[in-house]
Amino acid sequence: MIEEALAGLATSPVAALLKSSRLVYPLVNAGHILSIGALFGSILALDIRLMGFFGAVALPPLARFLPLVAAAGLSGAVVTGFLLFMVQPIDYAANPAFLVKLGLVALGALHAAFVHAGRRWRRMLDTGVASAGLRASAALSVAIWVGAIVAGRFIAFMV
For the cut 80, the answer to whether the pLDDT of residue 133 exceeds it is: yes
Contact 98, 92 (CB under 8 A): yes
Where along the chain do its domains lie?
2-157
Residues 64 and 60: their CA atoms lie apart, in Å, by 6
The answer to whether the pTM exceeds 0.85 is yes
Mean pLDDT of 114-137: 97
Give 159's pLDDT tier (boundaries 50, 70, 90): low
Residues 131 and 35: their CA atoms lie apart, in Å, by 30
Query: pLDDT tens digits for 66-91?
Result: 999 999 999 999 999 999 999 999 99
Residues 100 and 102: their CA atoms lie apart, in Å, by 5
